[in-house]
Structure 1
Amino acid sequence: MSFIKGYDPDTLREIVDARACKDRLDEIGEQRSLPALLERVWLLKVLGRLEDSLVLSEESVRVARMAGTRKDLLRARILHASVEQFRGAYAAAENELATCAAEAEGQGWNAIAAFAYQHRGKVYFDAEDFVSARADFKRALFLRQEAGAPDDQLESTLLAIDAADRRRTGSSALVG
């Protein structure tokens, strides 16, 4: 079941079915497996429970470091950075995502690298650096195409590129 109903074209945030997210959070409960931890982090984040999400995302990074694969650790770090972004800690999020993207690309893990670039693009977007946001979204699109990503991922990236273009054009019109 997909909890995401779409993306806000102005903020690029997920539009979710809050009731379904809360029900799923209740269903997962206090499970401690890495997949359950990561899902709980995301659910708490999209429900706006950022402090709870931050604490749990830090725990998920520790669990992934101790018991997961390198790919698991990258996914946990990217999710942690996305929580930082939602909290407005753009510099910390940007730094973490840059490191994750570089490592994933170095390993040839295009899907994970695309995930990191997509999220770093959202950090830039929130920080109103629309040129950098667009560049990261374009890189994410290329990597997702290379990885054979599903249509919904390609569509969300195309939406992000379009939003960055609109905001960039709107920003330059205000300056000029």
Structure 2
Amino acid sequence: MSYIHGYDSESLREIVRPSECRERLAELGDQRSLPALLERVWLLKVLGELDEAIAVSEQSVRTARMAGTRKDLLRARILHATVMQYRGSFAAAEQELTTCALEAEGAGWGSIAAFAYQHRGKVHYEAGDFDAARSDFKRALFARQNTSSPDSQLESTLLAIDAAERRRAELAAVAAS
């Protein structure tokens, strides 16, 4: 079941139903498997419970490092970076996402690289660097097209490109006036 019911066209953040997310958190309880930890991080993040989300994300990175694959560790690190982004730590999030994207590309994991670039684009977007955001979203789109990603991922990336272009044009119009 997807808990994402769309994306906000201004913030690019996921639109969720808090009641569904809280219900799922209750179902997960204190499970310590890596998939459960990662899901808890995401649910806590979208609910705005960022202190708990950062603690659980750090635990998920440690768990992935000890018992997961390299892909698991990259996914955990990317999710951790998104929590840092939500907390306003843009530089730290950007650095972590850059490292993850490069590692994923080097290993030939296009879908993970796309995931990292999409989120790095969101970091740039929230920081107000719409040129860098657009560039990252385009990289994510290219990678997603090359890995035959689901239409929903392609659509979210196209929405992000449009939003970055719109915000870039708005800034240009303000600067010109």
| TM-score class normalised by the smaller sequence | over 0.9
Cα shift at 1:2: 1.1
Partner Cα distance (2:83, 2:127) in 1: 15
Question: Any residues of structure 2 matched to 1:85-104 within 5 Å, and which?
Answer: 85-104=85-104
SS of residue in 1 equivalent to 2:15:
strand
1:135 paired to 2:135:
yes
Q: What stretches of structure 1 of length at least 5 have no aligned partner?
A: none
Q: What stretches of structure 2 of length at least 5 have no aligned partner?
A: none
Partner Cα distance (1:37, 1:140) in 2: 25
Matched residue type, 2:95: N
1:44-95, Cα deviation, whole Å (9 max, x unpaired): 0000000000000001000000000000000000000000000000000000
Moved over 6 A (4+): none
Q: Percent identity?
A: 69
Residue 173 of structure 1 corresponds to which residue in structure 2?
Answer: 173
SS of residue in 2 equivalent to 1:99:
helix
Partner Cα distance (1:126, 1:69) in 2: 31
Residue 105 of structure 2 corresponds to which residue in structure 1?
Answer: 105
Matched residue type, 1:13: R
Query: What is the root-mean-square deviation in Å for CA atoms of aligned residues?
Result: 0.4
User: Normalized against structure 1, the TM-score is what?
Assistant: 0.99
1:63 paired to 2:63:
yes
Partner Cα distance (1:121, 1:153) in 2: 14
Matched residue type, 1:148: S
Residue 125 of structure 1 corresponds to which residue in structure 2?
Answer: 125
Cα shift at 1:128: 0.4
Cα shift at 1:160: 0.1
Matched residue type, 2:106: G
Residue 22 of structure 1 corresponds to which residue in structure 2?
Answer: 22
Aligned positions, number = 176
User: Normalized against structure 2, the TM-score is what?
Assistant: 0.99
Partner Cα distance (1:127, 1:33) in 2: 33
